[in-house]
Structure 1
């Protein structure tokens, strides 16, 4: 019934010096869409159908390992990157029927030294067919036998995509950009644009360009361009236009956003307001801008001094030279 893939799934980590304490191999079924070399489960099941899938967990170490398991619905991280690890809650207005509720898995699996074990995941489809795709992942992390962490920076994420009825291009709602606000991203000043994908489809290899133009003085404008974005079904995220050393100028702006994906392209045009208080606060706390501003002031002061000295020299020494002539 099953063909076992020979491809291991890479673990996500923030410490490259650590070594993985366990390995996994998902057993992909013959009816897996896209074949058995994908490295993740991609299934089309009928309403009310039951299915069992498995992941082999291998412990090559000399100590017992407890593997914790969780199921996360796919979300979209800032600037368009699919995130299978986030535990942030998802609004029911965006994802009314999470795919994670169709999967059941034991919360943990204990694997003895030098052995392997199967992790069983049961899928129970809802009675009514859903539209589009449900995207989620089974996350596995290694834990020590006493609860102490063993390389817990590592988390394996095995994707699971459940396919419902096809959503035609005609019935796609298309992305929305409901709000913009000035703020800070990792302590750096930015304009943050909320982006919403209301459709149950992946938007892959997407492109987004945004331009803000001051309605009174078009010289004041801000631009952003993103390519190769990957957006999860029914998800929202931020697109961050980093200000760097630019001064944020208050006023009324025209926003033109152009989005393109394999499914469609769309242009969003709206008016946004940057208040004086917001601009002042951002500029005051924008370290890069303040450094640039101080440098410009120093250069300006130096140039002014040089001009004054030049004028003084010409006035007193230049005039004497003319008198002698």
Structure 2
């Protein structure tokens, strides 16, 4: 690369998922539908929990926060893609791209932290039911969510500040529908060793900590459940975890192995998994929790009758 004639990039070109106009039309309609359903579904979850006093418990407090994060998470990437399609443009400014990276990292990690907090809540409910109200008091619930927000924002700030230190030259084409940090790193004509190192150290720690907490929680849950004397008791205990396990499997199944390797090995095929956890996961979360939860279905039914 000739570094003598470098021109600093002021915008990036987002080529989308296919790069073919006819396919992009179909993807536009699909993404628009998914985004609207995601916003409406998660908003209804938040509204139902807020309006039903029976759902003012730690579990539903965390669920309302998860729905709020899912709305924000989906709104970071999809609207820009939809607007660009309508305007017939592929560009996103350098500043917009860095902002998108910041919030993408924040909300994606926040999803993981909330899922780990919810796993801890289920652990306390099943393994220490008599002490549940004492342990999961409102102050602790707010503190857990607040600490999660602080950690995820600081982590996103670290990565974004390191990203803006890089130089981007003539190559500004991103084979994606948003500013995913890893494809962006590949475009830099600077040395990205520090960025990759932080990804594997700090990023790996932030990613693996909530995941490890989830695994540990369910190890304790299953070990205690298996000690129950009746099959009915086992089924009842596990039924309270079914929705959470489904969401965790979908979320971590999509991202495990993609963002835990060098940016140089990131390929176009990885965008499929990225779409699953950036677009599909926020969509299905409200359906998983509402369809498998009798209290949630009852609250939604009351909400519909009220309006």
TM-score (norm 2): 0.21
* Structure 1 or 2: more helix by fraction: 2
Higher relative contact order (CA 8 A, sep 6+): 2
TM-score (norm 1): 0.20
